[in-house]
Amino acid sequence: MLPRMIDVARAKLPGGHIGTYQIGRGMSGLVLAHLGIGVDEFVECVGNSTTDEEVAERFCGRRSEAEDRLLNLKLRRITVADVPADLRPSFERFYGTDLSPSRRVFDILEEDDERAFGPK
């Protein structure tokens, strides 16, 4: 999730084009809360870093490895049915209304990245 968040943060920087992407809501909001930072601090760090690794070094390790593993498990288990009511309209606008409630959101995000940027 962090590489995707870094890409979106770069798009928020001067000269970038964020388009319809957002940061700080949904899954990225969960990650930022886990890291104990806000969107502005994250975007500023990305702007001041030259590599993804620099960003990860700054923020990862603020919590224990066990807490990080739990967050990763939590993110990977979130399904379409788990999307909160206040985020559902924008989620459906981006990804459609015909998704199975059991479909994992992380898989949807990875497919969206592949459509937008090509295969990894």
Task: Say whether both 57 and 94 belong to one domain.
Answer: no
Per-residue confidence band for 120, with pLDDT thresholds at 50, 70 and 90 = low
Residue 68 maps to a domain? no
CA 49 to chain centre: 18
38: helix, strand or coil: coil
pTM over 0.85: no
Q: Is 63 exposed, middle or buried (0-12, 13-18, 19+ CB in 10 A)?
A: middle
Domain hosting residue 45, numbered range: 1-63
Supply the DSSP symbol for 22.
Answer: -
Mean predicted confidence (pLDDT) in 29-54: 92
119 pLDDT higher than 80: no
Instruction: State yes or no: pLDDT of 60 exceeds 80.
Output: no
Assess if residue 87 is contained within a domain: yes
- 83 and 47 in one domain? no
Helices (H) then strands (E): counts for the chain: 7, 0
* 49 shares a domain with 84: no
Number of domains in the chain: 2
Strand, coil or helix: what is 112?
helix
Contacts of 15 (CB under 8 A, 6+ apart): none
Domain closes at, from 63, 86, 112: 63
Radius of gyration over every alpha carbon of the chain, rounded to an integer in angstroms: 15
